[in-house]
Amino acid sequence: MKWVMRIGVILVAVVGILIAGVLLLPGDRIAAIVTDQIRAQTGRELTVSEDVRLTLWPVLGVETGPMTLSNPDWAGPEPMFSAQKVSIGIAAPALLRGEVRVKRIIADDPVLRLMESQGRRNWEFGATPSGGTVRQSNMGPDGGGALSAITLENLKLHNARLVYKDDGGTAFDLSQVEMTARWPSETAPFDLQLRVQPGSQPVDLTVRLHDFVAFSQGAITRLELTAATEGGEVQYEGQISHLGEAAGKVSLKVSDTQRVLVAVGQSGLSLPEGLGRAANIAAQITYTRDGRLSLRKMQLGLGKNQLSGDVDLVLTGKPRFTAQLSANDLDFSAVTTSAQEEGSSGANQTSEGWSKDTIDGSGLALADGVVSLSARSIKTPLISLGATNLSLSVDRSRAVLKMAPVSVFAGTLNGQLVANNRNGLSVGGKLRAEGIEMQQALMLLGGVDRLSGKATASLEFLGVGASEYAIMNSLSGQGRVQMGRGIISGFDLDRLMESGQSGGGTTVFNSLSGSYSMANGILHNQDLLLQLDNYRADGTGRVGLGARDIDYVFTPVALRANAGKGLAIPVRIVGPWADPSIKPDLSQVIEAAAGVQIDEAEDQAKGKLFEKLGEELDQTVTEDQDVEELIKDRLEDEAKKGLFKLFGVD
């Protein structure tokens, strides 16, 4: 918008300079006199070919061949304006009344270069006001007398090129431009039609400036602008200044965003349904000279999704943003077939392992800011959220997503997730879940669907790496889970305990609790407790989060067996997540049972041995006595008796 208005101002300025020269034309010295006059008034060099033709009545006109108007020295050697052919016509009767009514300005193949650098503008001529508009001249047809302001009935640029540079950088360079403009009187609006083609399709701009004189003098002026191309249209109605500041109402209607982007030279981007493939925006807009853009009372439609709120952007330097958005029901489930195909390929990865493709985290450095969103529900291809309050902040390549709370997995989730790419990519989080359905959560997070039931859980984690594989194999952290009544699919504990057969089936439990720690992508648990009506199960083992495998032992205890002492049959779960083996560990049962039998046999043997030994020694022998000493004492007694008999001593 800003540069479009500048073009209009510059063209009127150039016209004023040329008219000042035309009024001094003395016949065959046209070119030389015009050149001298423009140099004297502006310090610029005007070069005009010798092929100059003049008409006097009823239109005072001049037609030239190739011509150029130089830039100031600081703007470089290329001319500010050049054209292969220029035709200018002024109403002669009006000129006799002291009015300058331009009937036509037609330029073929013109090139207009606008430049700004260190507060200097190449369209500001030495003797003209800051706005760049020549409103009057001290020279009439006879060299004296004042002329009224210039008016313009028809300006036409054919096959033009427009270049704008700001402090040495090229902001835009447009070719094949078609432009027409009208300003029939000082009190009439200035109308401008412009066709440019930055991409594959033309973009048509229509501008109406209600007070061109005030605008050229730096005053705030009413503006109406429309930009349209195949697939979309934007409209603005409000105030504008010559510095580009604006305040008014803007509306955008896009039926096909991809076609609009291609038309403006941004191909290769395809937005999904519900995320901008079609869009409607209406808002009160304010733009200031320091690059601050604000949208108030914004209504944003993305297909069927409707959002409202306020947005603030700072466009100078590194972009910064602040947004507060609200919505009812948002549906992003139809996120193009490509996303669904990626999801199906991800299903193949469930058995093959985590992806080793590099994750590009450079997008975290594009802008800084904060966005908050509240919605009644959000539906995506992978997950459906209920009432949601989210806040996303980005600061120097570190993004923090806060949930306070989010309704998910039939429960609520509080906490935050972090993605940090300041010194290599890392992801982490601290979450607390209340009343979530474990089957939904585990299926989404790890492709595991064997455990179902409501749970309260906490989780702290950190993963580092440039791929899913690296992150999952580096996970560290801790957590805890507490469940009420639930179901474990894949084995029937009752049948296992009664018959020793694993098979399939389900196990219904009354409660489940446990804590865990994570290091190097491996989860360790030592205190799992599973309570059933007739059994209790303790668990210990590991889960390979990176390797996607498990080695875990449940030890169910039959609470009503063996006179209440309990019968324990361990169950081992081992193998990959996709197809683990679930079998009773009978070796431990046999060893335990054999140990009981051996102990009983030992006790019985000891009892009989002590009884026989007591008979032989003629005394009571107990387990506490030293049997070796008892035998030794008895042998000494018997030896003494033998010696006494040998010597005849009683």
Q: Quick one: average pLDDT of 109-135?
A: 68
Q: Quick one: average pLDDT of 208-229?
A: 90
Asked whether 234 and 250 are in contact (CB, 8 A), the reply is yes
> What pLDDT is attached to residue 129?
38
Are 94 and 188 found together in one domain? yes
Are 3 and 151 found together in one domain? yes
> Is residue 589 assigned to a domain?
no
pLDDT band, very low/low/confident/very high, at 648 (cuts 50, 70, 90): very low
User: Dihedral angle at the C-alpha atoms of 458, 460, 461, 462, nearest 10 degrees?
Assistant: 160
Buried b (16+ CB within 10 A) or exposed e, 63-73: ebeebbbbbbe
Residue partners of 100: CB distance under 8 A and separation at least 6: 19, 90, 94, 147, 148, 149, 150, 151
> Is residue 208 assigned to a domain?
no
DSSP per-residue string spanning 225-273: EEEEETTEEEEEEEEE-TTS-EEEEEEEEES-HHHHHHHTT--S--PPT
> Is residue 206 assigned to a domain?
no
Of 250, 319, 325, the closest CA to residue 286 belongs to 250
Q: In this predicted model, what pLDDT tens digit does every residue of 126-184 receive, in sequence order?
A: 544 333 343 333 433 343 333 345 677 888 889 999 888 887 566 778 888 998 998 88
Are 492 and 640 found together in one domain? no
Asked whether 48 and 35 are in contact (CB, 8 A), the reply is yes
- Choose the weakest-confidence range: 7-11, 505-509, 638-642: 638-642
Q: Quick one: average pLDDT of 388-394?
A: 94
Q: 150-166 and 100-108: which strand pairing? A: parallel
Q: Quick one: average pLDDT of 240-258?
A: 89
d(CA 242, CA 333): 46
Domain count, the chain: 3
Q: Which letter does DSSP use for residue 561 in this model?
A: S
Domain that holds residue 490: 481-584
> What pLDDT is attached to residue 128?
42
- Choose the weakest-confidence range: 31-40, 456-465, 586-595, 612-621: 586-595
Residues above pLDDT 70, as percent of the chain:
71
Asked whether 378 and 384 are in contact (CB, 8 A), the reply is yes
Last residue of a domain, one of 169, 195, 221: 195
Residue 182 has phi, psi (to 5 degrees) of -140, 140
Which one is predicted more confidently, 132 or 447?
447
> What pLDDT is attached to residue 470?
95
> What pLDDT is attached to residue 114?
87
Are 108 and 163 found together in one domain? yes
Last residue of a domain, one of 162, 195, 228: 195
Q: Residue 180's beta-bridge partner residues?
A: 156, 193
> Is residue 443 assigned to a domain?
no
> What pLDDT is attached to residue 591?
57
Asked whether 408 and 390 are in contact (CB, 8 A), the reply is no
**Is residue 445 over pLDDT 70?**
yes
Which one is predicted more confidently, 545 or 612?
545
Q: Quick one: average pLDDT of 85-101?
A: 75
Q: In this predicted model, what pLDDT tens digit does every residue of 272-294 receive, in sequence order?
A: 777 778 889 999 999 998 889 99
Q: Quick one: average pLDDT of 562-574?
A: 67
> What pLDDT is attached to residue 457?
92
Q: 426-437 and 411-420: which strand pairing? A: antiparallel
Distance of CA 649 to the CA centre of its chain: 114
Are 74 and 188 found together in one domain? yes
**Is residue 373 over pLDDT 90?**
yes
Are 505 and 640 found together in one domain? no
> What pLDDT is attached to residue 340?
45
pLDDT band, very low/low/confident/very high, at 47 (cuts 50, 70, 90): confident
Q: What is the mean pLDDT of the chain?
A: 79
> Is residue 220 assigned to a domain?
no
Are 53 and 19 found together in one domain? yes
> What pLDDT is attached to residue 474?
96
Q: Quick one: average pLDDT of 465-469?
A: 94
pLDDT band, very low/low/confident/very high, at 202 (cuts 50, 70, 90): confident
pTM for this one? 0.68
Are 569 and 631 found together in one domain? no
Are 61 and 190 found together in one domain? yes
**Is residue 342 over pLDDT 50?**
no
Helix-strand-coil percent breakdown of the chain, rounded to 5?
Answer: 25, 45, 30
Are 552 and 622 found together in one domain? no
Q: What residue ranges in 255-339 does DSSP mark as E strands?
A: 279-287, 292-302, 305-314, 320-331
DSSP per-residue string spanning 15-41: HHHHHHHHTT--STTHHHHHHHHHHHH
Q: Which letter does DSSP use for residue 424 in this model?
A: B
- Choose the weakest-confidence range: 240-254, 277-291, 392-406, 606-620: 606-620
> Is residue 287 assigned to a domain?
no
Residue 104 has phi, psi (to 5 degrees) of -160, 145
Last residue of a domain, one of 535, 552, 584: 584
d(CA 227, CA 64): 33
Q: Quick one: average pLDDT of 342-363?
A: 68
Q: Quick one: average pLDDT of 519-546?
A: 91
> Is residue 100 assigned to a domain?
yes
d(CA 573, CA 128): 88
Are 486 and 542 found together in one domain? yes
> What pLDDT is attached to residue 400?
96
d(CA 172, CA 198): 9
How far CA 374 is from CA of 38, 296, 390, in Å, comes to: 62, 17, 6
Residues above pLDDT 90, as percent of the chain:
35
> Is residue 213 assigned to a domain?
no
> What pLDDT is attached to residue 28?
44
Token couple for 508:
């219904």
**Is residue 87 over pLDDT 60?**
yes
Are 546 and 637 found together in one domain? no
Of 63, 47, 135, the closest CA to residue 106 belongs to 63
**Is residue 511 over pLDDT 70?**
yes
pLDDT band, very low/low/confident/very high, at 111 (cuts 50, 70, 90): very high
**Is residue 350 over pLDDT 60?**
no
- Choose the weakest-confidence range: 90-94, 325-329, 368-372, 469-473: 90-94
